[in-house]
């Protein structure tokens, strides 16, 4: 059962910001209206979020190197699309990590830049990978099967749900928008990895090479949906400065 609110201004609880009624202000530890005990708890959870992001960045680096490397060798555009999305997630995760570090010190200024970079990279990924896949398909290029590619996809199927649950949990508890956004990307990556694994397994077991292009289309559809949702959402991060207060978005 939830404890009674400890803050009469924003209704944050001692170990949760999930029901906060003043999110713009309380997303910044330096200007939070809550007690010192609550602020200290939130900073501990934010530091835990940083640790999760470090683990996520390490795994995403493996995905990028493995997917793009094997994709180039085997001619698999499904692997290239997956690796390209993983690269976007690395950049987004790096920006989120910097934001979390600033958040624990009382700064919330990095969020808008995080959103802009992520949106641009997601949109750029679609024509690059999609165009290459179409060209290869109509010119008769057939991707080869790859056990290494299957291993990368299987690893993602196992790892990404764990990262998603951890990021979402900390993000909800601390009302940390960047971490919640990154959690959604981890969930999307998991769905992509399922499509990738299915396509690679079918090609490996039955030699049906065109399935790789179908998997590419599914992955790019997820990327497109992710991009559309990102542009539909308003900026999640008000530009703030602990010495100047909240500034209007730029």
CB 213 within 8 A of CB 221: no
C-alpha–C-alpha distance, residues 63 and 154, integer Å? 11
> What pLDDT shows up at residue 206?
94
Task: State both tokens at 148.
Answer: 């290494």
For 195, half-sphere exposure in the C-beta direction (CA atoms, 13 angstrom radius) is 24
CB 63 within 8 A of CB 192: no
C-alpha–C-alpha distance, residues 39 and 174, integer Å? 10
Contacts of 183 (CB under 8 A, 6+ apart): 163, 164, 167, 168, 171
User: Containing H/E element for 158?
Assistant: helix 147-174
Contacts of 83 (CB under 8 A, 6+ apart): 63, 64, 66, 67, 68, 71
For residue 4, being part of any structural domain is answered with no
DSSP 246: E
> What pLDDT shows up at residue 248?
33
For 65, half-sphere exposure in the C-beta direction (CA atoms, 13 angstrom radius) is 6
CATH code where residue 219 lies: 1.20.1510
Compute CA distances 26 → 42, 51, 193, 194, whole Å.
10, 22, 36, 37
**pLDDT above 50 for 15:** yes
What percent of the chain lies above the pLDDT cut of 90?
A: 36
For residue 80, being part of any structural domain is answered with yes
For residue 123, being part of any structural domain is answered with yes
Q: pLDDT, tens digit, for every residue of 35-67?
A: 676 777 888 888 999 999 999 999 999 999 999
**pLDDT band (50, 70, 90) for residue 108:** low
Please give the residue range of the domain that contains residue 142: 44-234
Nearest to 129 by CA among 137, 119, 139: 137
CB 27 within 8 A of CB 238: yes
Compute CA distances 211 → 19, 53, 77, 198, whole Å.
45, 33, 11, 9
Task: State both tokens at 160.
Answer: 């990404």
**Sign of the Cα pseudo-torsion (26, 19, 175, 185, in order):** negative
For residue 28, being part of any structural domain is answered with no
Residue 165 vs residue 25, higher pLDDT: 165
Considering its fold, how many domains does the chain have in total? 1
Residue 221 vs residue 92, higher pLDDT: 221
For residue 39, being part of any structural domain is answered with no
For residue 136, being part of any structural domain is answered with yes
Q: pLDDT, tens digit, for every residue of 122-149?
A: 787 788 888 888 888 888 878 888 999 9
For residue 175, being part of any structural domain is answered with yes
For residue 5, being part of any structural domain is answered with no
C-alpha–C-alpha distance, residues 43 and 201, integer Å? 44
> What pLDDT shows up at residue 244?
40
Q: pLDDT, tens digit, for every residue of 182-237?
A: 888 898 899 999 999 999 999 999 999 999 999 999 999 988 887 787 677 655 55
Residue 19 vs residue 204, higher pLDDT: 204
């Amino acid at each position: 059962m939830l404890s009674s609110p400890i803050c009469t201004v924003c209704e944050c609880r001692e170990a949760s910001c999930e029901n906060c009624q003043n999110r713009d202000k309380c997303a910044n530890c330096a200007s939070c209206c809550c007690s010192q005990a609550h602020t200290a708890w939130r900073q501990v959870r934010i530091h835990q979020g940083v640790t999760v992001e470090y683990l996520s960045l390490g795994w995403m680096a493996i995905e990028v190197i493995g997917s793009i490397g094997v994709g180039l060798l085997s001619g698999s555009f499904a692997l290239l699309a997956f690796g390209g999305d993983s690269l976007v997630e690395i950049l987004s995760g790096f920006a989120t990590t910097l934001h979390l570090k600033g958040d624990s010190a009382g700064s919330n200024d990095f969020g808008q830049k995080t959103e802009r970079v992520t949106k641009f990279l997601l949109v750029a990924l679609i024509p690059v990978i999609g165009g290459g896949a179409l060209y290869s398909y109509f010119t008769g290029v057939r991707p080869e099967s790859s056990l290494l590619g299957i291993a990368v996809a299987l690893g993602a199927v196992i790892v990404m749900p764990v990262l998603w649950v951890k990021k979402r949990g900390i993000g909800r508890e601390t009302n940390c928008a960047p971490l919640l956004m990154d959690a959604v990307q981890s969930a999307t990556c998991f769905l992509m990895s399922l499509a990738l694994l299915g396509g690679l397994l079918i090609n490996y077991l039955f030699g049906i090479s065109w399935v790789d292009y179908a998997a590419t289309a599914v992955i790019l559809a997820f990327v497109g949906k992710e991009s559309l949702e990102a542009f539909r959402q308003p900026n999640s991060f008000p530009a703030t400065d602990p010495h100047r207060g909240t500034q209007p978005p730029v």
